[in-house]
């Protein structure tokens, strides 16, 4: 079988690493059970495995290895010329060896001096269902092996990125020896995600977020192996995006300084791709669109009744088509979110010209709601996009939706089971557990929520693409968005990546909590403003002095 990153049935990963692993087998202690240590010191004797999200399969030993700060890179396989892997290696070197200037020791000997990355496919297309699996081996040169190297093997460059993140979490700076060390080596890890869609919604309409803040969020997403940024760019409050075909639209921005140019949006998409993250844009129609009429008042049913968008005018759909056509040049991801939630049709019924149009077409308000959503879906489909809609569209007229529609759950539980039973795909974002603006939802509630809840049929489970935590921006801006996202988003990230049984084994309070506290501190060391894990209200500062690892 020829292996390609787009072939989900091809898994050549063990081919090379497996033979290396066999030579090391006497040294490797198989252990997938997370045992709790009452010792709160985070050292090499601790039995907790501090990798987040937890890998699918892993084994480790009892050695401590030092890593050369001048670690070299060798890339092999069909993807050996990948600039994505090379750039990622340089980023992770800066993370792992951030004390580099203090580390240099002339003539020092290190156990690990080389990283081999083997990528089987040269295909760098970033899409839903891309192969993110990888294997990772960290071993010392000894009597059993002449390999004193780290080896990452993956089918795609994006699997290699996930392997680099795991490697970075295995490496720790020792302040006593002033060296970077890997504890509990040799390590052998085989890993792959549980779900293909692992998302975070970021709202830039309720509060504008500068480009650098969005990049910081994307960077932090890669640390938790999330792979979709759902960019909720536009809403009723503001329209910050440049649309060349209709240049007055971004008059709906809060100010002329709170805008995104076409080049800004493309920069975000490219920045995310280098980290293996898709960007799914959203244009929410026909509701949540009052800001459109600031630049084009004819889109409002009337000056006093500004949404939903005027369903009676062809101009409305010309503008929708123009926006989507311009955005298609920026956003290559095959999914596009068309919103469709919270549509209150009273405005149509109370505006005489629209009311007359409804009567002439023998439509009720709900009929017109359906008509608008389906026309928007047709426009998206004509641009080779798969439409995603909030669950109200499914709840109201499921039989009329484009059969390729992805139903996005948010109102509560039980929607994904109904959607997949009808053959639709579904994304889980139950607001009671995965809305990050709900500050009273604790990490444990986020962690135990599951996209497959209520779905037992294997064929229907496959229709659940995954899930997404939502960072709505009414009360979050550049000053607090990161500490609202993290660390609770990481709890969902492990649910979406890791085998549920392995990640949840044992007492969660003694395993997942301790690992999440460690991951939160890893985020803060990397410059991410992650809030304490166990605060009653998310994003609040610590209540008193104490260790990062115990709050």
For the stretch 40-69, what's the b/e string if a residue is b when 16 or more beta carbons lie within 10 angstroms of its beta carbon? eebeeebebbbbbbbbbebbbbebbbbbbb
3-state class percentages of the chain: helix first, strand second, coil last, to nearest 5: 35, 20, 45
Q: How far apart are CA 49 and CA 505, in angstroms?
A: 13
335-337: strand order across its sheet: 278-281, 228-232, 197-203, 464-471, 425-428, 406-408, 386-390, 335-337
Any idea how long the chain is?
551
φ/ψ bin of 409: left (φ > 0), alpha (ψ from -120 to 50), beta (otherwise): beta
Nearest to 503 by CA among 551, 450, 462, 467: 450
* Rg of the chain in Å (alpha carbons): 25
d(CA 481, CA 460): 35
170-184 burial: b if 16+ Cβ within 10 Å, else e: bbbbeeeeebbbbbb
Residue 546: which region, alpha, beta or left (left: phi > 0; alpha: psi -120 to 50)? left
Question: Token digits for 374?
Answer: 């389906």
My answer on whether omega of the bond before 487 falls inside 30° of 0, hence cis, is yes
CA distance 164 to 159: 9
Sign of CA dihedral 261, 263, 264, 266: positive
**Catalytic: 124?**
no
Read off the tokens for 531.
């809030």
DSSP annotation string for 341-409: -S--THHHHHSHHHHHHHHHTT--HHHHHHHHHHHHHHHHHHTT-EEEEEHHHHHHHGGGS-TTPEEE-
Catalytic choice (334, 342, 474, 550): 342
Tokens representing 404 are 């390729």
Cα angle: 415, vertex 419, 421; to 5 degrees:
120
CA–CA distances in Å: residue 1 to residues 9, 10, 17, 28: 10, 7, 18, 31
- Strand 63-76 relative to strand 112-119: parallel, antiparallel, unpaired? parallel
Indicate which residues carry an active-site annotation.
342
């Amino acid at each position: 079988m020829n292996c390609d990153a787009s072939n989900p049935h091809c898994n050549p990963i063990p081919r090379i690493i497996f033979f290396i692993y066999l030579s090391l087998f006497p040294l490797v202690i198989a252990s997938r059970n997370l045992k709790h240590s009452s010792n709160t010191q985070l050292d090499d004797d601790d039995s907790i495995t501090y990798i987040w999200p937890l890998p699918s399969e892993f084994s480790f030993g009892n050695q401590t290895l030092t890593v050369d700060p001048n670690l070299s890179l060798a890339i092999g396989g069909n993807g050996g010329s990948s600039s994505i892997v090379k750039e990622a290696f340089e980023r992770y070197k800066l993370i792992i060896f951030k004390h580099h200037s203090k580390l240099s020791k002339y003539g020092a000997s290190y156990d690990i001096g080389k990283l081999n990355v083997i990528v089987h496919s040269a295909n760098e297309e970033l899409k839903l269902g891309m192969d993110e699996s990888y294997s990772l081996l960290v071993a010392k040169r000894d009597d059993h092996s002449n390999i004193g190297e780290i080896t990452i093997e993956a089918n795609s460059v994006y699997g290699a990125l996930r392997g680099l993140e795991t490697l970075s979490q295995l490496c720790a700076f020792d302040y006593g020896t002033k060296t970077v060390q890997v504890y509990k080596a040799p390590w052998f890890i085989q890993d792959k995600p549980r779900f293909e869609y692992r998302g975070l919604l970021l709202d830039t309409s309720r509060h504008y977020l500068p480009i650098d803040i969005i990049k910081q969020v994307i960077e932090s997403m890669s640390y938790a192996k999330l792979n979709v940024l759902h960019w909720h760019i536009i809403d009723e409050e503001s329209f910050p995006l440049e649309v060349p075909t209709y240049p007055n639209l971004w008059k709906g921005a809060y100010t002329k300084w709170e805008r995104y140019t076409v080049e800004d949006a493309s920069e975000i998409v490219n920045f995310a791709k280098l980290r293996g993250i898709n960007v799914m844009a959203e244009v929410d129609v026909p509701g949540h669109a009052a800001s459109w009429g600031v630049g084009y008042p004819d889109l409002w049913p009337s000056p006093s009744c500004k949404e939903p968008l005027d369903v009676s005018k062809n101009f409305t759909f010309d503008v929708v088509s123009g926006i989507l056509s311009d955005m298609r040049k920026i956003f290559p991801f095959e999914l596009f979110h068309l919103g469709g939630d919270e549509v209150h049709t009273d405005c149509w019924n109370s505006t005489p010209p629209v009311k007359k149009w409804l009567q002439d077409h023998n439509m009720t308000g709900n009929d017109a709601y359906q008509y608008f959503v389906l026309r928007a879906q047709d426009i998206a489909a004509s641009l080779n996009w798969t439409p995603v809609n909030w669950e109200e569209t499914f709840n109201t007229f499921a039989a009329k939706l484009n059969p390729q529609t992805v139903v996005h759950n948010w109102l509560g539980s039980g929607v994904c089971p109904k959607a997949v039973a009808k053959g639709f795909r579904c994304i889980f974002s139950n607001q009671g557990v995965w809305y990050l603006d709900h500050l009273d939802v604790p990490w444990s509630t986020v962690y135990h929520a599951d996209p497959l809840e209520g779905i037992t049929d294997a064929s229907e489970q496959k229709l659940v693409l995954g899930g997404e935590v939502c960072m709505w921006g009414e009360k979050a801006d550049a000053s607090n968005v990161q500490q609202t996202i993290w660390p609770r988003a990481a709890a969902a990230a492990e649910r979406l990546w890791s085998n549920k049984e392995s990640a949840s084994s044992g007492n969660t309070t003694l395993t997942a909590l301790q690992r999440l506290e460690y991951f939160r501190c890893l985020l803060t060391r990397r410059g991410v403003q992650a809030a304490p894990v166990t605060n009653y209200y998310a994003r609040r500062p610590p209540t008193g002095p104490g260790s990062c690892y115990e709050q």
